[in-house]
Chains A and B, each alone.
Chain A
Amino acid sequence: MLQKLILMIILSMVVLSNLFVAETFWAQSLFGFILILVLVFFISLILMDRDQRAKYNELKRAYEELDKQTGLIVRTDLELRKAQEELDKRIQGLTLLHELGQRLNRARNVENSFSFISASIITKLGFERSLITLFEEGMQRVGSQARVGYSEKEVQIIQEHLRGDRSLQEFLQSGKSLSVNQKDQVNSYSKKFSEIFHTPNFVLVPIVVKEKPAGFIFVGKGTPYDFVTEADREMVAILADQMSQAIENTILNEQLWQSHRELERKVKEATLELGRANEELKRLNKAKSDFVSNVSHELRTPLTSIKGYASLLSEGKLGAISDDQKQRLKRINEQTNTLTQLVNDLLDISRIESGRAPMDFQPVEAKALVEGPVDLLQPQIREKKITLDVHVPEKPVELRADREKMERVLLNLLTNAVKFTPSGGHVTVEITPQKESVQFDIADTGIGIETRDLQHLFEEFYRCDNAVRQNIKGSGLGLSLAKRIINAHGGKIWVKSKLGEGSTFSFSIPLTLKSTSQAS
């Protein structure tokens, strides 16, 4: 601007000096005109420069204005960033607490719960130091402990401080959580705990179990410039709640476990007792079988002699006998036969029981098993005018069985059917092939069996009331023996009956031999 002014003055002076020295009018007019032009030019230039300067200043102001707005952008960005960090921290914290909560729920004991509080969880929650402590004996003794960012020695020093100071006890009993930043320490606890834990910015939360302080969670930041926030305090409070819940759960689990152990112990004892009783029963049963076997053997010899002598006497080989005597001897012979049958049945039962009567399994046609017993019972059937129907399948059914013993079963069942069927009654034998077995049904129209007797029918020496009342003879061993023989064949035997309407005894035998099992 100044330069332009000086230049204008110099040029004007030059033109003016020329104007003064000009001799002619035309020359004077020309220089005058030039002078005017110079003045106009420079005045325009000065005016334009002022305008540009104003514009420049305006632009500069706008630039500064924009720069100030940059400050606004930066501060907004900073706030957003802090909010984002806080949000990230909360999300991560809540995710971690959720995972931790799930693990704590599965904790078996307090030590186990503590093992889940790992350093990585503490650091992911945004802290670099942590001391989690559970007391025993009402805050008198430190029980479980987890530390992060503290050495063992540092923890010992902290504990010594805490022991000699009642502030922690008072604080824990208040049940409140404490969040402290060094820059704004507000109460006596803040300063004291900051010194004891050697951490400027921290959160301290009591662990309360059954409404009593049981320990605490302390977490702190690594530097004085990392501040704890309300979100931090909330997260640690949630963690403390989870710990409290986990500890209560583990206490309950412990109690439950103790109860289980007690129950298990009792069950074990009872099982041992039952085992011992079972062994005793087995021993007694064997003794019984041995006794029955021995007695039966011992009885058979004198019975054979009695029968022999009775026959000799009856046939008059030892001298003439009267009709009355003959009658009595006939009774002796009949009773001896019954007794021999009884003894034989007992012997067979004890042999089967003790495994001394092995089955002689051979292929046999089912129909053939029925023929023998049916023939044998023809005299009684005829005598009582009973109708006997035998239904056999068209195709022969072959099974593996001990023929002699199976005939005995069928003879037993048929004898019973004939015995308990009144004159003119009906007995049916039916053989039905099944998929993997063959079923025999012996049905009669006899007196039937009372329901209460049905479940005991296959027990040794069991006699139904109505049979006894009607003086029908029987040893009470036939069905028991039949059951044992069927069992030895891997089959099963059962009965259906209604009082006054007759009975159906059924048994099934597998077509192919299986290992023997208990009959139902």
Chain B
Amino acid sequence: MIWVGVGSGRGFHPLQLGERAAQEAMKRLGKKKPDLVVLFSSSRIDQKQVLQGVRGITGDAPLVGCSGAFQITGASMEEDVAVVTLVSDAFRIRTGLGQGLRKDPRKAGQEAAWHACRDLKEKGRFFLAFSDGLSGKNDHAILGMQEVLGTSFPIVGASGADNFHFERSYQYYENQVLEDAVAGSLFFGNLAFGIGSRHGWLPLGKSRRATRVVGNILEELDGKPAVSIYEDYFGAGFYHGGEPLARHSLFYPLGLSLGGEEPILRQPLWVGPEGSLICSAEIPKGVDIRLMIGTKDSLLEATRKACEAALSGLAGRTVRMVFVFASASRKKVLGRDSAGELEILHRHFGGDIPIAGCYDYGEKFPLGGEDRLGQSVFLNTSLVLLALGE
């Protein structure tokens, strides 16, 4: 049996917001102590106070989470704080933390996974991970986790976001507010879950080949400075010097043809020296890249498909809650119609199913296709749904 509580709130009094959201989430559990607390919070409110507010109510229950541009619940896609409390007599949860993501992402990923699974006798089911969304190294962190958990072990989660400033993102682990970290929780035991992901962006314009790449820095496309892909279409000077390119690439990410059903998306965060693009994760050299464009309809269609995929993973089991990790770009593109996304979720999973998550700067998702052998990858500008059931 799974018991889930979700609480949320809006406002500028972080301590009260944390307390009230946690109280609401705890109320649904009766007197049970949560096995896991997941916190999502806006970065513009005092992070320590909001966590203090939550911990004041949930006590020393294991806690993970990250900051989001907006927080998502079944009631609204624009909350400042959302708290999830989970208890089950069928499955168990262990948490882990890895730090120093920007310096050594692989090690940070390994540590988070290792802390969660060490001395564990039984095999885990999936790893729910939250990381720094502005590190540009999330793909390596995932590789680190896979080195501990297994190459095809499902890793799902979000990379923290801020308020579209692209300056700082936060991760929460127990009593700590962290940056540059990975906080994860390993679920093991008798648990049904389904994962679905789609992005709905469509390729536009001609394909360009990544001719020079260093890690997550895309230096040249077709032998020209990589920023030309944007300059060619938007015109030179389309962004202001020093401005994060992410403010524009939110709407127009890059699509990498890696052979899956949809191109894998990468979001350039900054324009680097000599017109290079500093991306959110590594770009394979020689890959064909196209500019992507999204419409409200195509994005909502992707939501529908992601819901169907998550439900199909549950294979008819009863849904108990749904985690939603949606790219902040979706919020920007959908604008006031983001409520339509929530409607689709309700329509597929049921109107009263607890829903929680955040608008983030990156998602983690196990690709189901044979090409990737079910390996989990880092995604951008996508929607990832994790449905828990029994």
Chain B residues in 8 Å Cβ range of A407? none
Chain B residues in 8 Å Cβ range of A92? 336
Q: Are A70 and B291 in contact (CB under 8 A)?
A: yes
Of B240, B243, B247, B252, which contacts A74 at CB under 8 A?
A: B252
Q: Are B11 and A74 in contact (CB under 8 A)?
A: no
Q: Are B165 and A74 in contact (CB under 8 A)?
A: no
**Chain B residue nearest in CB terms to A222:** B165
Q: Are A75 and B234 in contact (CB under 8 A)?
A: yes
Of A75, A91, A223, which contacts B336 at CB under 8 A?
A: A91
Is A372 close to B, CB under 8 A? no
Chain A residues in 8 Å Cβ range of B163? 128, 222
Is A224 close to B, CB under 8 A? yes
| Complexed CA–CA distance, A85 and B337 (Å) | 11
Is A253 close to B, CB under 8 A? no
Q: Are B205 and A67 in contact (CB under 8 A)?
A: yes
Of B11, B234, B242, which contacts A120 at CB under 8 A?
A: B11
| Complexed CA–CA distance, A91 and B293 (Å) | 25
Number of A interface residues in the complex (CB < 8 A): 28
Of B11, B44, B205, B206, which contacts A118 at CB under 8 A?
A: B11
Best-surrounded residue of B10, B233, B235, B240 (most CB of chain A within 10 A): B233
Is A78 close to B, CB under 8 A? yes
Q: Are A120 and B10 in contact (CB under 8 A)?
A: yes
B75 → chain A closest CB, angstroms: 15
Chain B residues in 8 Å Cβ range of A71? 205, 232-235
Is A56 close to B, CB under 8 A? no
Is A183 close to B, CB under 8 A? yes
**Which chain B residues numbered 11 to 44 have a C-beta less than 8 Å away from chain A?**
11-12, 44
Chain A residues in 8 Å Cβ range of B273? none
A67-101 interface mask toward B, CB cutoff 8 Å, 1 = contact, 0 = none?
A: 10011011101100100110010011000000000
**Chain A residue nearest in CB terms to B247:** A225
Chain A residues in 8 Å Cβ range of B378? none
Of A74, A88, A128, which contacts B233 at CB under 8 A?
A: A74
**Which chain B residues numbered 212 to 253 have a C-beta less than 8 Å away from chain A?**
232-235, 240, 242-244, 247, 251-252
Is A386 close to B, CB under 8 A? no
| Complexed CA–CA distance, A199 and B12 (Å) | 20
Q: Are B44 and A67 in contact (CB under 8 A)?
A: no
Is B335 close to A, CB under 8 A? yes
A519 → chain B closest CB, angstroms: 63
Chain B residues in 8 Å Cβ range of A77? 251, 293
Of B11, B234, B291, which contacts A119 at CB under 8 A?
A: B11
Chain A residues in 8 Å Cβ range of B243? 224-225
Of A74, A85, A183, A223, which contacts B293 at CB under 8 A?
A: A74
Q: Are B10 and A70 in contact (CB under 8 A)?
A: no
| Complexed CA–CA distance, A196 and B12 (Å) | 24
Is A207 close to B, CB under 8 A? no
Is A148 close to B, CB under 8 A? yes
| Complexed CA–CA distance, A493 and B87 (Å) | 80
Q: Are A63 and B234 in contact (CB under 8 A)?
A: no
**Which chain A residues numbered 43 to 74 have a C-beta less than 8 Å away from chain B?**
63-64, 66-67, 70-71, 73-74
B107-145 interface mask toward A, CB cutoff 8 Å, 1 = contact, 0 = none?
A: 000000000000000000000000000000000000000
Chain B residues in 8 Å Cβ range of A118? 11-12
Q: Are A74 and B204 in contact (CB under 8 A)?
A: yes
Number of B interface residues in the complex (CB < 8 A): 25
**Chain B residue nearest in CB terms to A77:** B293
Chain A residues in 8 Å Cβ range of B233? 70-71, 74-75
Chain B residues in 8 Å Cβ range of A73? 204, 293
Chain A residues in 8 Å Cβ range of B244? 225
| Complexed CA–CA distance, A77 and B232 (Å) | 15
A282 → chain B closest CB, angstroms: 58
Q: Are A128 and B44 in contact (CB under 8 A)?
A: yes
Chain A residues in 8 Å Cβ range of B232? 67, 71
Q: Are B234 and A78 in contact (CB under 8 A)?
A: yes
**Chain B residue nearest in CB terms to A84:** B335
Q: Are A81 and B247 in contact (CB under 8 A)?
A: no
A112-134 interface mask toward B, CB cutoff 8 Å, 1 = contact, 0 = none?
A: 00000011100100001000000
| Complexed CA–CA distance, A224 and B241 (Å) | 11
A127 → chain B closest CB, angstroms: 12
A488 → chain B closest CB, angstroms: 63
Best-surrounded residue of A67, A70, A74, A222 (most CB of chain B within 10 A): A74
**Chain B residue nearest in CB terms to A71:** B233
**Chain A residue nearest in CB terms to B252:** A74
B144 → chain A closest CB, angstroms: 33
Q: Are B336 and A88 in contact (CB under 8 A)?
A: yes
Chain B residues in 8 Å Cβ range of A225? 240, 243-244, 247
Best-surrounded residue of A64, A71, A148 (most CB of chain B within 10 A): A71
B161 → chain A closest CB, angstroms: 14
Q: Are A183 and B240 in contact (CB under 8 A)?
A: yes
Q: Are B291 and A88 in contact (CB under 8 A)?
A: no
B359 → chain A closest CB, angstroms: 15
Chain B residues in 8 Å Cβ range of A85? 335
Q: A73-B204, A74-B234, A225-B240 are in contact. Are A119 and B12 (CB under 8 A)?
A: yes
Chain A residues in 8 Å Cβ range of B204? 70, 73-74
Chain B residues in 8 Å Cβ range of A81? 251, 333
A306 → chain B closest CB, angstroms: 93
Chain A residues in 8 Å Cβ range of B235? 71, 75
| Complexed CA–CA distance, A74 and B205 (Å) | 9
| Complexed CA–CA distance, A8 and B10 (Å) | 81
| Complexed CA–CA distance, A290 and B192 (Å) | 95
Chain B residues in 8 Å Cβ range of A78? 234, 251
Q: Are A120 and B12 in contact (CB under 8 A)?
A: yes
B206 → chain A closest CB, angstroms: 5
Chain A residues in 8 Å Cβ range of B335? 84-85, 88
Chain A residues in 8 Å Cβ range of B165? 222-223
Chain A residues in 8 Å Cβ range of B247? 225
| Complexed CA–CA distance, A85 and B296 (Å) | 13
Of B10, B12, B234, which contacts A148 at CB under 8 A?
A: B12
B76 → chain A closest CB, angstroms: 12
Q: A118-B12, A225-B247 are in contact. Are A67 and B206 (CB under 8 A)?
A: yes
Q: Are B240 and A224 in contact (CB under 8 A)?
A: yes
**Which chain B residues numbered 236 to 280 have a C-beta less than 8 Å away from chain A?**
240, 242-244, 247, 251-252
Chain A residues in 8 Å Cβ range of B12? 118-120, 148
| Complexed CA–CA distance, A67 and B208 (Å) | 11
| Complexed CA–CA distance, A66 and B293 (Å) | 16
A382-403 interface mask toward B, CB cutoff 8 Å, 1 = contact, 0 = none?
A: 0000000000000000000000
B131 → chain A closest CB, angstroms: 24
**Chain A residue nearest in CB terms to B337:** A88
Q: Are A63 and B10 in contact (CB under 8 A)?
A: no
> Closest 9 interchain pairs by CB?
A70-B205, A119-B12, A74-B233, A71-B233, A225-B243, A67-B206, A88-B335, A88-B336, A67-B205
15 A–B pairs (Cβ distance < 8 Å), ordered by A: A66-B206, A67-B205, A70-B206, A71-B233, A71-B234, A73-B204, A74-B233, A74-B291, A118-B12, A119-B11, A119-B12, A120-B11, A123-B44, A148-B12, A224-B242
B interface with A by C-beta (< 8 Å)? 10-12, 44, 163, 165, 204-206, 232-235, 240, 242-244, 247, 251-252, 291, 293, 333, 335-336
Known: A64-B206, A74-B291, A183-B240. 9 other contacts (CB 8 A): A66-B205, A70-B205, A71-B235, A73-B204, A74-B205, A81-B251, A120-B11, A148-B12, A225-B244
